[in-house]
Structure 1
């Protein structure tokens, strides 16, 4: 631990115990990834609460936020939604059907291709996703409150560097 850290966390205790039992191993990967895993669980709980409070399922959030991020008129083709949400074609069709049923999106003919449709965010969908993103940003800021902005930026850069290796 560095001089700025005052108390160990559960991962420190786990790594120390393993270190006593297996001093032949380098446990530094656990020091990083066990913390990422534990933080992921906190993030999952916070996101589920945000989506519940916004009356959205996580999958609904994925589709609605993809549409919202495109800007007005908040439209994407089903194929573009597939690319952004990484689900199968059948799954996306089912999701769009369910969102149409909830009146959060609507299907419209593509003016550039009469054989295709565009999925458009409705006003109700936009209101719902805007409320959810506000809650999400607030909840995630709360999870990071112990870190000053400079530490957050450094951590984001390190995680980006790590994730780029997986995204390649």
Structure 2
């Protein structure tokens, strides 16, 4: 009787099973609530890394049920992570508990959940970034369960930006 009641879930399974532990309630509400704004915080944090960044664009498409957040600052480096042997944008947006902000000098995104939680709760999540050398694009689907092979192409040195687009359904 007692052994059956103890379970172990992967981090991904636990996030989907108990979203309130990570982002609050996902139930429909008819009252003002704080919203999960991690992608916007990520874009704003880029200003710390790149003082020349001067634009964040948010597009909401009610028909497609998608939200895009784009900043014109330095993109995420499009190089392979030494230990993981995958591109850094893959690690940042598609691997749990990864971040470059495990310090106390950041507005948000300090624990490595933010973008991944947005990815996990999205039917489709697309990361695109350009670092002045290469442009990167990868699409995740079905709550981050499926990921496309990243597309990496050369770009001009003035081409620096990051855009995240996520679809709720």
Q: Normalising TM by the smaller chain, what interval?
A: under 0.3
Query: Normalized against structure 1, the TM-score is what?
Result: 0.25
Query: Normalized against structure 2, the TM-score is what?
Result: 0.25
Structure number with higher helix proportion = 1
Structure number with higher strand proportion = 2
